[in-house]
Structure 1
Amino acid sequence: MLYELALGTLENVDNKIASSFRNDFPELNQLSAVDLKPSILPIAASVLKVGNTAPSTISIVHEIQETYQSQQWRQPYQADDFGLDFFNNTAWFPIADVEGPILFSKGLMEIMLLEPNITYPNHKHSPEELYVILAGNVWWQSDNQKACRKFAGEVIHHLPNVIHSIKAGNKPVLILNLWRRGSFEMPVITNA
């Protein structure tokens, strides 16, 4: 259900890059699925307190709120990567990647959750990336450009190896995160 809602979100945000990403993800009936054991991190309940949605994101946000306890929440970083505050106030769960729950090896699709005012500091990675803000808002900065605010329903695009960061607004933020032409790799932390 989340996979199909994510594809629908990419279609509904009315953005050419989002449409291009959508075309790189096959229909659900062309993929296999595996059951992942749910794992809950303390932050997960914050999905019930996220900021405003957009018409293009409301359906997927409601589904996430209904199913968050059955997801496999992860924190891929260590506390010393970005600090304990970041470690305790961010989390991800997969929708599609090499380990499931939808098996997909040519990219990834996941949900990112950031608590209010948390900064995901400068980092970069090889795969091209798309963020769709599902609920709440963020300050986004890329390649030392001036930071700008992005709201629910808006898209953020990162080319491979472009340094970028985001900071959550004053409510928890949900982001649909997609990579294409590469599966998960730990991002490189930068000081730029």
Structure 2
Amino acid sequence: MEEEWRYVKHDGKERFSYQISSKGRVKSLLTAKATILKTRVNQWGYEVVNLKIDRETKTKQVHRLVAEAFLGIDLAKSQVNHKDGDKLNNLLDNLEWVTPKENIEHANRMKLRDARGHKKLSDREKDAILYLTTLSEITYLTIATAFSVNKRTVSKIASEWRKEKASDTPASKV
């Protein structure tokens, strides 16, 4: 899929200061040289970006920006669904407008939650958590909040990785 760019919409109007791509990248046009903006993962596990709109900083979910720019706004369907269940996969082909009921049914079909109703992490999310645990300035609690899991889950992911790594060392293969 070739990357296509469109202007970001806010309150139904195009904002000529920013563009969103069909691959989920956000570009600022506020300077002479266009800049790809950095994003982060919010406490619910969605990729977000800060945009300056009408002299205020607004935090916007990237998947909604893609859907609004490329799929239009569907007044009958208020939520944007990630077809593959991966909240960080903001490619246009992976997004669709759904009702809240359809979103819940999709989550159940995809088994995005375990039997107790807890969130199931994708391999991509686990890799992101593992990477973040290696950064000394980020606490496990901060990581847990960003991915909507508890601190023990983050600790377990890091611990399992350390055990795997230890079992791969030559001394342990004797």
**TM-score for both structures, normalised by structure 1:** 0.25
Structure ranking higher in helix proportion: 2
Structure ranking higher in strand proportion: 1
Highest relative contact order (Cα 8 Å, sep 6+), 1 or 2?
1
Larger Cα-atom Rg:
2
